[in-house]
């Protein structure tokens, strides 16, 4: 029988008290790796209570001591990169080298957030009164609920936990039901680090049971969520009952614009690489391309050549691969549905276009589609797979207009040699990020924040750190 994961509450691993067991699969092999409990609201209550009790003393520690805890964790992560990478690859399906990168980046992120300990700053505001000092203090919010997706599961732990802890909050994390094993390994790595009990808690389970209990809990001060728009809406509704602050990192439909004056080999290389990374299952990677007419043929054939060369299969199998499977059948069905419907509406398959049957696992052939009209679903719905739909435009204005014709607003990109075209795109694209002449991927010192249905608030850098604080004004009359 597969091992049953244990919740981690108040510094103790808790055996599940009955209830449903949810299997966790290896998406390349369709085998069961482990099982996890569908943790009940009662256990979630215990986790939140433990986090609340621990928060009082945790917040009193100097920030530099809280940062030391993050550095201890990053040290442990660095000693275990290969072990962590294997667990990520097994349950999530990304290639091993990318999983190693994810683990290493997670350690780096912990250290980066630890560095903020000496830089969490308030303000002194000029008063209208004689003898008064007005201070804006930055204080922790209290208990943070971190609800995670599966696509970069280990890194997302740090993206919630590190800013929460260094600013004096405590946290209860619910990993995705697809990828809880890396979280369980994270808990194992905490052993012996002397982090006070209750500061970090993990509960496993479905969104319906465990996630809903956590996001609707009255003692949670901030729900920090990364995932789909549909779930974001539910979380907002649950949080609204208690007027709980939410930080939502949701889906995207990133446009990439390629103008006639672009360095085409560079554009093709970057877009193909971004689109096959993690099998196209990234919120920020290019989901649709607007190419100017003069270079359209060159771009289409370049992308087709690059995607045809992508080797895919079991990332832990005998052959070296560039791309693993999609996370599950539902993910595959979604990609297939969007491609089929685009083809039926007149899109042309340049390469790929169908499910790849490798015996086990969910694979979709790396695909390039042309003749994709702006009104097709494939130009509006998040694909989350290795598929590039292409639309030809006459000029930058048309490209910007079509790019902005979306309910999403996370990332975007432009390839051009013209500074004025690049700046016009940065000013007029209604997205939280625009990459110029480079791949789609954000930096930890930036601010990853979407507009429209891509979310509320953001992560990373100073602005991401301050999402985990509340302001407290002090009016001191002397
Ligand atoms: P998802 O919304 O299906 O699930 C995310 C998490 O929410 C899981 O832990 C799930 O159990 C939980 N959940 C589900 N229903 C819930 C409920 N009612 N209450 C509380 N929690 C609930 O998303 P996913 O499939 O895991 O991730 C893919 C999505 O995440 C994509 O849309 C992608 O664009 C997005 N994403 C966004 C970013 C970003 O930074 N903006 C980063 C990574 C992924």
Domain limits, CATH 3.40.605.10, in the chain: 7-249+453-477
Residue 391 exposed, middle or buried by CB count within 10 Å (0-12, 13-18, 19+): buried
Pocket test for ligand 1, best of 27, 145, 228 (most atoms within 8 A of CB): 228
Domain limits, CATH 3.40.309.10, in the chain: 254-441
185-229, pLDDT tens digit by residue?
999 999 999 999 999 999 999 999 999 999 999 999 999 999 999
370-421, pLDDT tens digit by residue?
999 999 999 999 999 999 999 999 999 999 999 999 999 999 999 999 999 9
- Give, using CA atoms, the residue closest to atom 34 of ligand 1: 251
Task: For 38-125, list the strands marked E by DSSP.
Answer: 123-125
> Is 212's C-beta closer than 6 angstroms to any atom of ligand 1?
yes
In this structure, which CATH number among 3.30.470.20, 3.40.50.920, 3.40.309.10, 3.40.430.10 belongs to the domain 254-441?
A: 3.40.309.10
H or E element, residue 391: strand 387-393
What is the Å distance from ligand 1's center to 68 Cα? Answer: 30
Pocket test for ligand 1, best of 148, 149, 158, 229 (most atoms within 8 A of CB): 149
Is there a contact between 156 and 149 (Cβ–Cβ < 8 Å)? yes
Give ∠ CA 102-108-114 in degrees, rounded to 5. Answer: 140
135-185, pLDDT tens digit by residue?
999 999 999 999 999 999 999 999 999 999 999 999 999 999 999 999 999
65-123, pLDDT tens digit by residue?
999 999 999 999 999 999 999 999 999 999 999 999 999 999 999 999 999 999 999 99
Alpha-carbon span 242 to 466, nearest angstrom: 21
What is the Å distance from ligand 1's center to 238 Cα? Answer: 15
Alpha-carbon span 382 to 26, nearest angstrom: 24
What CATH number has the domain spanning 7-249+453-477?
3.40.605.10
């Amino acid at each position: 029988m597969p091992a049953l994961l244990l919740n981690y509450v108040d510094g103790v691993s808790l055996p599940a008290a009955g209830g449903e067991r949810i299997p966790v699969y290896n998406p390349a092999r369709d085998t069961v790796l482990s099982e996890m409990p569908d943790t009940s609201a009662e256990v979630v209550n215990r986790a939140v209570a433990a986090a609340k009790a621990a928060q009082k003393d945790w917040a009193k520690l100097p920030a530099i001591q809280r940062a030391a805890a993050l550095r201890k964790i990053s040290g442990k992560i660095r000693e275990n990169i290969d072990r962590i990478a294997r667990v990520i690859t097994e349950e999530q399906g990304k290639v091993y080298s990318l999983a190693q990168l994810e683990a290493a980046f997670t350690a780096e992120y912990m250290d980066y957030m630890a560095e903020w300990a000496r830089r969490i700053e308030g303000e002194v505001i000029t008063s209208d009164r004689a003898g008064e000092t007005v201070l804006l203090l930055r204080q922790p919010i209290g208990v943070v609920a971190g609800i995670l997706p599966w696509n970069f599961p280990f890194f997302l732990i740090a993206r919630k936990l590190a800013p929460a802890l260094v600013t004096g909050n405590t946290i209860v994390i619910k990993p995705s039901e697809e990828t809880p094993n890396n979280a369980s390994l994270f808990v194992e790595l905490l052993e012996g680090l002397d982090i006070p009990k209750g500061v970090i808690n993990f509960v496993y389970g479905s969104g319906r049971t465990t996630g809903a209990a956590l996001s609707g809990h009255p003692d949670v001060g901030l729900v920090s969520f990364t995932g789909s728009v549909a779930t974001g809406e539910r979380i907002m509704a649950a949080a609204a009952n208690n007027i709980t602050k939410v930080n939502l990192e949701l889906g995207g439909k990133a446009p990439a614009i390629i103008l006639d004056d672009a360095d085409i080999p560079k554009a093709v290389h970057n877009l193909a690489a971004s689109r096959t990374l993690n099998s196209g299952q990234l919120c920020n990677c290019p989901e649709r391309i607007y190419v100017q007419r003069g270079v359209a043929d060159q771009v289409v054939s370049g992308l087709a050549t690059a995607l045809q060369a992508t080797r895919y299969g079991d990332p832990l199998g005998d052959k070296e691969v560039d791309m693993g499977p999609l996370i599950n059948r539902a993910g595959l069905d979604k990609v297939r549905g969007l491609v089929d419907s685009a083809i039926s509406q007149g899109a042309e398959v340049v390469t790929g276009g169908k499910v790849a049957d490798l015996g086990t696992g969910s694979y979709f052939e790396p695909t390039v589609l042309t003749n994709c009209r702006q009104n097709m679903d494939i130009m509006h719905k998040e694909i989350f797979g290795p598929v590039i739909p292409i639309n030809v435009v006459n000029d930058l204005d048309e490209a910007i207009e079509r790019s902005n014709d979306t309910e999403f607003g996370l990332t975007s990109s432009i390839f051009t040699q013209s500074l004025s075209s690049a700046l016009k795109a940065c000013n007029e694209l209604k997205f939280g990020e625009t990459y110029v002449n480079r791949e789609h991927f954000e930096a930890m010192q930036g601010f990853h924040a979407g507009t429209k249905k891509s979310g509320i608030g953001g992560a990373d850098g100073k602005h991401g750190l301050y999402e985990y604080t509340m302001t407290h004004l002090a009016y001191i009359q002397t």
